[in-house]
């Protein structure tokens, strides 16, 4: 027994070490025990989308990796994008991981952790005469965007300022519930340009089979994406930060960013 006790102590210590490696941060209190409920709009490939009854994409992969590091299982609540912050505040889910930019007006209602960076692309029909490369090239055109996106006030500013000063005609902005409806509006001729996040734009072009093309030469309005947590929920905020740091340190996160054509924040 005197010989075996030190061995037993060593084995227990190793077991504790392996347990701590598999769980990067202390398991926080969540709405449902053992579960991290994530709010997202699951109609936004490649960020989140359905493949049969399974939720796929960048954000579900991030959610699953972070939840695992917290000793939790990720689950997903499908909510329309403009209602995500409202749903978080109402306690419908623990966090938002849904390709959502960090903006001052959102930070008034929730706290955010930067987790990736991306910008927007301008798309048009491949057979269109006008191929706008910059926001200023959109003067006099009708542009479609998904409801709730941050580019709407930015485009309005260009329209009210640059376009008006140049006498080039206002930018008409049409908003649609989903990005797929915006793409359909472009193909049917209801709009002349479609503004969308870079990563999503590549997939839209691919699915259009040559009917839609990216006309912008570089990323416009680049911004940082955030993981949102309800104001005052410091325990979950700190736990998610620790889990994200561990995810980055593992090298797995940089590979995931490359896979989806995103940059680290």
Q: How far apart are CA 29 and CA 94, in angstroms?
A: 10
Fold of 119-222: D-Maltodextrin-Binding Protein; domain 2 (3.40.190)
Q: If you average pLDDT over residues 109-124, what whole number do you get?
A: 96
* pTM (predicted TM-score): 0.75
Fold of 4-118+223-259: D-Maltodextrin-Binding Protein; domain 2 (3.40.190)
pLDDT for residue 76: 98
Given pLDDT bands bounded at 50, 70 and 90, which one contains residue 11? very low
Residue 12 predicted with pLDDT over 60: no
Location of each CATH 3.40.190.10 domain in the chain: 4-118+223-259, 119-222
Per DSSP bridges, beta strands 193-197 and 142-146 are: parallel
Neighbours of 110 (CB within 10 A): 23
pLDDT for residue 199: 86
Residue 15 predicted with pLDDT over 70: no
- H/E element, 225: strand 220-230
Is 74 in contact with 60 (CB distance < 8 Å)? yes
- H/E element, 183: helix 179-187
Identify the residue whose tokens are 């409806």.
181
pLDDT for residue 148: 82
Neighbours of 206 (CB within 10 A): 10
Of 139-143, 198-202, 233-237, the one with minimum mean pLDDT is 198-202
pLDDT for residue 25: 63
Token reading at 75: 């689950």
Q: How far apart are CA 224 and CA 222, in angstroms?
A: 7
Mean pLDDT, the chain, as a whole number?
A: 91
pLDDT for residue 23: 56
Residue 149 predicted with pLDDT over 90: no
Kindly state the percentage of the chain with pLDDT values over 70. Answer: 91
pLDDT for residue 24: 58
Residue 30 predicted with pLDDT over 80: yes
pLDDT 10s digits, 64-114: 999 999 999 999 999 999 999 999 999 999 999 999 999 999 999 999 999
Q: How far apart are CA 253 and CA 255, in angstroms?
A: 5
Surface-to-core class of residue 234, CB atoms within 10 Å of its CB (0-12 exposed, 13-18 middle, 19+ buried)? exposed
Q: How far apart are CA 24 and CA 15, in angstroms?
A: 15
């Amino acid at each position: 027994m005197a010989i075996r006790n030190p061995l037993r102590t060593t084995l227990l210590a190793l077991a504790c070490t392996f347990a701590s490696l598999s769980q990067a941060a202390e398991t926080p209190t969540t709405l449902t025990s053992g579960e991290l409920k994530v709010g997202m709009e699951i109609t936004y490939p490649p960020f989140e989308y359905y493949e049969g009854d399974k939720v796929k994409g960048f954000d579900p992969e991030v959610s699953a990796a972070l939840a695992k590091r917290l000793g939790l299982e990720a689950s997903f609540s499908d909510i329309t994008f403009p209602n995500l912050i409202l749903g978080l505040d109402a306690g419908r889910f623990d966090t938002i991981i849904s390709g959502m930019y960090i903006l001052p007006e959102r930070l008034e209602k929730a706290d955010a952790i930067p987790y990736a960076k991306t910008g927007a692309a301008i798309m048009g029909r491949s057979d269109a005469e006008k191929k706008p490369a910059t926001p200023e090239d959109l003067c006099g055109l009708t542009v479609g965007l998904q409801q709730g996106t941050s580019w709407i006030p930015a485009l309005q500013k260009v329209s009210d300022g640059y376009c008006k000063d140049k006498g080039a005609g206002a930018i008409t902005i049409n908003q649609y519930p989903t990005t797929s409806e915006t793409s359909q509006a472009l193909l049917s001729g209801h709009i002349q340009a479609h503004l969308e996040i870079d990563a999503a734009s590549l997939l839209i072009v691919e699915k259009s089979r040559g009917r839609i093309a990216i006309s912008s030469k570089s990323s416009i309005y680049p911004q940082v994406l955030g993981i949102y947590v309800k104001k005052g929920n410091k325990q979950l905020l700190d736990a998610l930060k620790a889990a994200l740091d561990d995810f980055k340190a593992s090298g797995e996160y940089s590979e995931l960013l490359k896979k989806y054509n995103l940059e680290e924040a």
